[in-house]
Amino acid sequence: MSQQSGANAVLIFDTETTYKTTPTPDAHVLPFTSESLRLSRNLVSSNTIRSNRNPQAPVRGTVDVAGDINFELTPQYGKLFKHIFGGYGVAGGAAPYTHTYKIGALPVGMCIEKQFTDLATDKYFLYNGCRVNSFKLSAKPEGMIDCSISIMGAKETIGAATFDATATDNGHTPFDGFAGSIQQGGAPLGTVTEIDFTLDNALDGNNYVIDGTGQRYSLPEGRAKVTGTAKILFEDDVLYALAIAHTETTIELHFTKGAGTGASAGNEKMSFYLDEAIFKPQSPVISGPTGLLVELPFEGFYNDDADASALRMVLLSPIAAF
């Protein structure tokens, strides 16, 4: 028997046109660091009293397909971000192309396949009806930009062959904190030691119907929510005063490779914008004898900004479309 190695496992994904239905193949490879997507199904115990203390056989509960996919931020994830944000547009007749992502209606769904090819007989675990419940990004001065998506789905099918043997592989060239920058209120904010934010799509995973499958019938999205936290060197009280005053501001995160023009591979740029944001006041604390930090949560929203999105992303890339 051959045990599957995690190093050799592959994830691919594609966009569905009909919910829970595998589309005409146009899959992309999804490089990742770890994942926990799986099917689980409850066993429901009977409460029947039947003259002795032995339990009756349990019955099947509903099917829950869910889990996280963790990955490093790269400019090749453009197709995935369509499922994270929902709103997408591209401009440019030649490289560089400007890909803009905004909060909007999510795609119908996507299918995600886990490929296990070290086994004596190859196995392919296909998950249909998947949607992104939340996306999280965490940036530090050193190392890769860590990201994760929380997935909810509808069904699992195990097969002996992949649904797309020619999935597109756009490569994997991750951004790092060294090539990152942050702006607040339109000016560089060079004292941030760590920043993270989450886009929550608020999926409703409780839509089960009596149809003999036990699967989710649908996964409608709710009102989006954008939250985050910035850890900042305690050098003054400027940002804390901004929070106390409940003053609206802007937050931008920029990650670049090479020149950042998007004209060719190795020169991409990915930017995240919170065009309307409020910091939550949280006083600095003395945690020890070393340098102090201020930890300020924030929330993004949309009120009247021209771009009409609590969070948006702009990718400059030589890839024409995702």
Give the C-alpha separation, 109 to 161, whole Å.
22
Q: Report the half-sphere exposure of 69 (CA within 13 A, side-chain side).
A: 26
* SS3 of 232-292: EECCCCHHHHHHHCCCCEEEEEEEECCCCCCCCCCCCEEEEEEEEEEECCCCCCCCCCCCC
Joined tokens for residue 151:
């997935």
Instruction: Please give the backbone phi and psi of residue 59, each rounded to the nearest 5 degrees, phi first.
Output: -110, 170
Cα 237 to Cα 21, 175, 294, 297: the distances in Å are 54, 31, 9, 15
Mean pLDDT by 10 residues, the chain (322 residues): 90 97 96 97 93 93 97 96 97 96 97 95 97 97 96 97 96 92 90 95 96 95 97 92 96 96 96 97 92 94 97 97 90
Chain centre to alpha carbon of residue 93? 29
CB 144 within 8 A of CB 175: yes
**What pLDDT score does 1 carry?**
65
By CB atoms closer than 10 A (0-12, 13-18, 19+), residue 250 is middle
Whether residue 189 lies inside any domain: the answer is yes
Give the helix/strand (H/E) hosting 298.
Answer: strand 293-300
Instruction: Please give the backbone phi and psi of residue 283, each rounded to the nearest 5 degrees, phi first.
Output: -65, 145
Q: Which residue has the tokens 């989006």?
A: 224
**What pLDDT score does 2 carry?**
86
Whether residue 51 lies inside any domain: the answer is no
Give the C-alpha separation, 93 to 90, whole Å.
10
Whether residue 78 lies inside any domain: the answer is yes
Count of helix runs (H) and strand runs (E) in the chain: 2, 19
Whether residue 268 lies inside any domain: the answer is yes
Instruction: Give the range of the structural domain holding residue 67, as residue numbers without chain letter.
Output: 6-42+61-206+216-317
**What pLDDT score does 179 carry?**
87
Please tell me the total count of domains within the chain: 1
Whether residue 52 lies inside any domain: the answer is no
Whether residue 166 lies inside any domain: the answer is yes
* DSSP states of 42-64: EEEPP----SSSPPPPPEEEEEE
Q: Report the half-sphere exposure of 140 (CA within 13 A, side-chain side).
A: 6
Non-local (6+) Cβ contacts of 174 within 8 A are 72, 73, 74, 144, 145
Q: Is the pTM of this model over 0.85?
A: yes
Q: Which residue has the tokens 């199904």?
A: 41
Whether residue 198 lies inside any domain: the answer is yes
**What pLDDT score does 306 carry?**
96
CB 135 within 8 A of CB 149: yes
CB 299 within 8 A of CB 292: no
Whether residue 56 lies inside any domain: the answer is no
Cα torsion 124, 59, 131, 151 to 10°: value is: -80
Q: Which residue has the tokens 């909007």?
A: 104
The pairing of beta strand 109-116 with beta strand 146-153: unpaired
User: In the beta sheet, which residues pair with residue 111?
Assistant: 14
**What pLDDT score does 189 carry?**
85
